[in-house]
Amino acid sequence: MKRWPYFILIFWLAAVMLSYAMDLQPDHINLENVLALPRADAWLGNDDLGRNIVARLLAGAGVSMFVALLVTSVSLTVGTLIGLVAGYFGGWIDRVLMQVTDVFLAFPGILLAIAFAAVLGPGLDNLLLALCMTSWVGYARLTRAQALSLRHRQHVLAAESLGAPVGRIMRKHILPLLAAPLVVEATYSIAGLVIAEASLSFLGLGIQAPHASWGSMLKDGVRYLLVAPHYVLAVGFSLMSLVLAINVLGDQLRDAWDIARAE
């Protein structure tokens, strides 16, 4: 019973890979099937241009996971580095870096990513850039707080007095102790980025037509909500299942490793 998040994640991964292998033609327009209901050859029906919703849903899932994983790996690396430097060296470097993160955190939720994406212009590249520019902050704060306390642990002091170089101390003596909270944070952030990508695409700032994205599908779906509710429902429940599975996975990891979540 506790394993259901894994089943959902494996389901989505397998389905996306299968859809690439089978080449479902998510962009194929068929105006005879506009907003058609679910049936045997189109399990979830068709969208406003008669495109197969299952095919587009899986293409959108692929984009969503690609964006979430790429942005998480970039921002995790950058954020951890910044946090390590700030927490380890302290002093003015720390003050300047934390002031910068304070400013970034003054923009609630996805607002700053919306602003960046708005001026950079729509498209996948700029979407990735906008999300990377805003996602590193959480990791930087988390790492900095932890590094600040770890810095004075005995094993770090011992390594220092034996003359270990800074890079080695960070890599061998501080980073391993940070791994668990960072992985938990990254898990939540993947779920958050799935939502963020969909939000930006929903606002027309992310993935552009004709390419499928859960956000742009929801945007189209809302327009035809009252005549073809199956469209919105299909996309909404897909998104929800993925985000829920990742969040529960994060909760399980956090409980297993006994980590108090940094707010």
Partner 1 sequence: MIKRLLGVVPVVFGVLLLTFLLVHLVPGDPVEVMLGESAPMADRAKLRAELGLDQPLVAQFGHYLQNLAQGDFGRSIHTRKPIAESLKERIPATAALALLSLLIAVIIGLPLGIAAALRAGKWPDNFATILSLSLSAMPHFWLGPLLMLLFGLWLGVLPVSGMSDNLSILLPAMTLGFGLAAILTRMTRTSLLEVLHEDFVRTARAKGMNEQQVILRHALRAALLPIVTVLGLQLGGLLAGAVITETVFGWEGVGRLLVESIEKRDYPVTQACVLVIALTYVMVNLLTDLLYARLDPRIRFAG
Rg (CA), the chain: 22
Q: Please, what is the minimum distance in Å from the beta carbon of residue 149 to partner 1?
A: 22
Which of residues 85 and 130 has its CB atom nearest to partner 1 in the complex?
130
Q: Report angle CA 12, 186, 235 to the nearest 5 degrees.
A: 35
Helices 175-202 and 229-257: angle between axes, nearest 10 degrees: 170
Give me the phi and psi of 33, to 5 degrees please.
-115, 25
Nearer to partner 1, 83 or 221 (CB): 221
Distance in Å, CB of 253 to partner 1, minimum: 15
Amino acid at residue number 241: S
Of 240 and 256, which has the nearer Cβ to partner 1? 240
* Distance separating alpha carbons of residues 145 and 149, to the nearest angstrom: 7
Smaller CB separation from partner 1, 29 or 111: 111
Judged by beta carbon, residue 1 or residue 31, the one nearer partner 1 is 1
Instruction: Report whether 113 contacts 131 (CB < 8 A).
Output: yes
Residues in the chain: 263
What's the CA gap between 185 and 75, in Å, rounded? Answer: 12
Minimum CB separation of residue 53 from partner 1 in Å reads 15
Residues that bind partner 1 (CB under 8 A): 99-100, 102-104, 106-112, 114-116, 118-121, 191, 195, 198-199, 202-205, 215, 218-219, 221-222, 225-226, 229, 232-233, 235-236, 239-240, 243-244, 247-248, 263
Rounded Cα–Cα distance for residues 82 and 53 (Å): 42
Give the pair of three-digit tokens for residue 4. Answer: 């259901």
Least distance (Å) from partner 1 to the CB of residue 82? 16
Q: Are 138 and 189 in contact (CB under 8 A)?
A: yes
Q: How far is the CB of 41 from partner 1 (least distance, A)?
A: 26
Tell me how far, at minimum, the Cβ of 260 lies from partner 1, in Å. 11
Q: Which is nearer to partner 1, 136 or 202 (CB)?
A: 202
